[in-house]
Chains A and B, each alone.
Chain A
Amino acid sequence: MDAALLEVRDLKVVFDTADGTTHAVRGVSLSVRAGETLAVVGESGCGKSVSFQSLLGLTPTPPGRILDGSAVFNGQTLIENGTLAASVQRGRDIGMIFQDPMASMNPTMRIGDQIAEPLRIHQGLSRRAAHQRAIQLLQQVRIPEPASRVRQYPFEFSGGMLQRAMIAMALGVQPKLLIADEPTTALDVTIQAQILDLLRGMKAGNNMAMVLITHDLGVVAETADRVAVMYAGEVVESTDVESAFERPAHPYTLGLRQSIPDPGAAAGGLTTIPGTPPDLSQPIAGCAYAPRCPYAMRVCAQQAPPPFDLPVDEHGLRRWSRCWLQHPKAPRIKALDQSARGVGDGVA
C-alpha cells in the first residue's frame, strides 16, 4: 500500500445548536492517493461537505466544532486529536470549488482579481503578472476572449462559465488535491458534461488528486477511480468504482445503485430507498442504516458494525464495508458481495 496523499482517521464534527448537539460527522476515515479521483457519495445531509470543509477549517465555529480525529496531508498535519493545526495553508496545496458558482464568486470583484488573489497570496506574483496569469488560466478553462473577460464581473458570466472561472481560480496555484463539492449540481446537464471533461483534463495535466463530492452516481461512474459511500456521518463502504456498481457490499450502496433511473425499464416509476436518514442530534444505537435496510438483522439495531475487509481491488487497494452482513455467520444475500475476510481498521 503506497502512502496516501490525504489520510483522514475517525473524524468527528458536531454542531452545537439551541436544540442540542448534532453529530454531523461521526467518525469518517478515508484516504486519497496522489493522482486519483475519490468520489464521496451519499444523500443530502450525510456529512459529505462538512467533512471536507472541516479539514480546511471552513466550518463556521461556532456552531461547528471538530470533536475528534486526525488528518494528515502530504506528511503535514491538518488535524490532530480533534484540533485544527495552525499551519494549514488553505488554497495552496488543497484547492476547493463549490456547488453554486453564482453564489460562490464575489459579486463586487472582477473575475480576474478573484483568480489573481490566490496567485498573489501563494506565489507572490505582482499585480501585473497575476493579471497575465489569470488571462492564461481563463484560456486554459476555455473561456473565449479571456483578455476582455478577465475584467468582467460575475454577473456578466453564465453559470457554466463561472464554474470554469472557479476551476481556474482553484487550479491556478497547481494544488496537489482539489476538493470539488458538487461542482455540477447547479448546472445544466449539457454544461455538466463539459465541466467534468474540463476537470478530468486539468487533473491529468497537473497530476492532481481529486475528491469529488456528489450525489449523482452518473458523475461517479464517469469520473471516479474509487468511491466512498457515506451515510449518516460515516463512510459505510469504500471500494473501487467498478465494484461499487457491479458488486456493492453494503445494502445502502445497493439501494443507491437501484435508485438510478433506468431508461430501459418501462412503467413502474422510480425505485427509491424507503424512509429518511436518522436524526443526527439523537444517539444512534447499532447501524444507522438498519431502520431502512431490507436485510436488517437483530444485531444491526444493537451494535454498530465494524468495517469488514473485502478482497482488494485489481490495483491491490483495500475495500471494506461497514455491514454485519459481511460477518461469516450472516445469511447470504444474492444481490450483495459478501466476500469479507474479517474485521479491518476502516481506512481505505
Chain B
Amino acid sequence: MIRYLVRRVLGGLVTVWFIATATFFAMHAVPGDPLLNDKAVTPEIRANLEARYGLDQPILTQYAIFLGHMARGDFGISFTQKNRSVNDIIREHFPVSAALGVLALVFAASGGIVWGALTAQYRNRLPDAVIMFLVILAISVPSFVVAALAQLGILYVNRWFDASVLPVAGWGQLRHALVPALVLGLGTMAFLTRLMRSSLLDVMDADYIKTARAKGVGPFRVFWRHQLRNAVLPVVTVLGPAVAGITTGGFVVELVFAIPGLGRYFVQAVQQLDYTVIMGTTVFYGAFLVAMVVLIDILYGLVDPRIRLQ
C-alpha cells in the first residue's frame, strides 16, 4: 500500500511537471506582449519591467528560473495586479471555488445516485422517460444558459414569496452558494444519472441479487446492501474526472453569479497574458486534479475489496 502510494505520488509529480512545461512554452508561443498596457510605456520603463520580471533573459533561462521557483512553491508577482503575489491570489480565491465545487459535487453525486436509482426502478416507464429526457437536456444545454435561466427562476421565486428568499448573485452565505452549485453540478449530475441507471440495471440481473432474494432478504435491503454497493463502483471511477470538470468549469458560473472564485483569474490571466498568474493557476489546478485522481483511486479500494489487495 505504501509503495503503491509513493508510486502514485511520484507519477503525479511527473504529470504536474509536464503540465507546467507544456503550459510554459505554449504561453510564450502565444503572440502578444504581457507588458503592453493601455498606457504608453517608454523604452526605459519597459527595460526596467523586463528586467524585473526576467523577460530579458533567454527563454530556457527563464524556464530554469521558473522551475526553481515552482519547486519552492513560489509563482511570483502578478503582471496585471502589481504587488500582488500569485500565491496570494490562489490563497484568497481558491477556497471560494473549492467550497462551490464541493457543494456542486455533493449535489451531482447524490442527485446522480438518486435519479439513477429511480430511473432503474421504473425502467421503461413514465418516470424513467421523463428523467432521461431531462438528463439529455441537462447534458446538452451549456452552463451559461442554465445559469441565466436559474437567475430568472430565482427572480420568480422571490416574487412569489414576496421576499428575497434566494440572492441572485454574490457570495458569503450558504444561500448564495445553493443555486450556483446546483447549476455547476447539473451536467455532472446528468452524466452520473445515466451511468448509475445502466450500472444498476446490470447489477439488477446479477445472479447474486437472485441469491439474496432467495435467502429472503427484503426488497429494501436487497437494494441497499446488494445492489447499490456494486452498482456504485463505476460511478466512483468517474468521480475523478467529474471533479476536474466541476473545478475547471466553474468559471462561467462564477462569472454569471458574481462569485469571487479562482476561475475568473484563471481565464482573465490567459486573456491578459499575465504570465505568472497563468503558470500559477494552471500548475495549481493540475496538481489539484492529480491529487483528486489519486484520492479517488484510494477511495475505490475502500468500496471494492477486490482492488484493495493488489
Contacts and interface: CB of A to CB of B under 8 A. Distances in A.
Interface in A154-186: 155, 166, 169-170
Given A98-B207, A108-B229, A153 B217 contact: no
B226 interface: yes
A98 B215 CA distance: 12
A155 B215 contact: no
B165 interface: no
B207 to A, nearest CB: 4
A106 B213 contact: no
Nearest to B123: A62
Contacts of A205: none
Contacts of A166: 211
Given A90-B216, A103-B207, A153-B305, 14 more contacts: A53-B210, A56-B213, A89-B216, A92-B216, A95-B215, A98-B207, A98-B210, A104-B207, A106-B212, A107-B306, A109-B229, A117-B212, A117-B217, A121-B215
B213 A58 contact: yes
A106 B230 contact: yes
B208 A106 contact: yes
A92 B212 CA distance: 13
B216 to A, nearest CB: 3
Contacts of B217: 91, 117-118, 121
A130 to B, nearest CB: 13
A245 to B, nearest CB: 31
A103 B211 CA distance: 10
Contacts of B41: none
A109 B225 contact: yes
B202 interface: no
Nearest to B211: A104
Chain B contact surface mostly:
helix
Q: Which 10 A-B pairs have the closest CB atoms?
A: A91-B216, A103-B207, A91-B215, A96-B214, A90-B216, A104-B207, A153-B305, A106-B208, A118-B215, A104-B211
Nearest to B208: A106
Contacts of A91: 214-217
A60 interface: yes
Given A108-B229, A153-B306, A122 B216 contact: yes
A327 B172 CA distance: 91
A58 B226 contact: no
Contacts of A95: 214-215
A108 B303 contact: yes
A72 B278 CA distance: 76
B203 to A, nearest CB: 10
A60 B205 contact: yes
Nearest to B212: A106
B206 interface: yes
B304 interface: yes
B210 A100 contact: no
A36 to B, nearest CB: 21
A166 B212 CA distance: 11
A117 B229 CA distance: 16
A120 B303 CA distance: 24
24 contacts: A56-B214, A57-B213, A58-B214, A60-B205, A90-B214, A90-B215, A95-B215, A96-B211, A103-B207, A103-B208, A104-B211, A106-B211, A106-B225, A107-B208, A107-B305, A108-B304, A109-B225, A109-B226, A117-B217, A121-B217, A155-B306, A169-B215, A170-B214, A170-B215
A53 B211 CA distance: 11
Given A107-B306, A108-B305, A58 B216 contact: no
B216 A105 contact: no
Nearest to B206: A103
Interface in B39-76: none
A76 to B, nearest CB: 14
A104 B208 contact: yes
A108 B217 CA distance: 16
A122 B306 CA distance: 30
B254 to A, nearest CB: 38
Contacts of B207: 98, 100, 103-104
A109 to B, nearest CB: 7
Interface string B212-237: 11111110000001100110000000
Interface string A108-144: 1100000001100110000000000000000000000
A90 B229 CA distance: 23
A105 B306 CA distance: 14
A170 B212 CA distance: 10
A295 B249 CA distance: 75
A98 B207 CA distance: 8
Contacts of A117: 212, 215, 217
